Amino acid sequence: MHGVDLAPDGRIVALCSRGRVRQLIGILELPLPSPAPEGAEWIEAYRHWAG
């Protein structure tokens, strides 16, 4: 993951890349590794808020 941004439709998205492929993945759909990386508590809080 390279960062976080706001998509044109208002969703919060992760800016991800692997090799030359780049994609936006909605934070609500983003699978987190175990152990979770630093800052993952913000993603969990957003998931809780979004319901």
**Single-letter amino acid, residue 38:** E
> What pLDDT is stored for residue 1 in this prediction?
67
Banded model confidence at residue 19, pLDDT cuts 50, 70, 90 = very high
Q: For residue range 24-43, list pLDDT tens digits in order.
A: 999 899 888 899 888 889 88
Q: What is the pLDDT of residue 30?
A: 84
What tens digit of pLDDT does each residue of 39-49 get? 889 888 988 99
Question: pTM of whole model > 0.85?
Answer: no
Q: What is residue 3's predicted lDDT score, i.e. its pLDDT? A: 85
How far is Cα 22 from Cα 37, in angstroms, rounded to an integer? 20
Rounded to whole angstroms, the Cα distance separating 35 from 23 reads 23
Percent of the chain surpassing pLDDT 70? 98
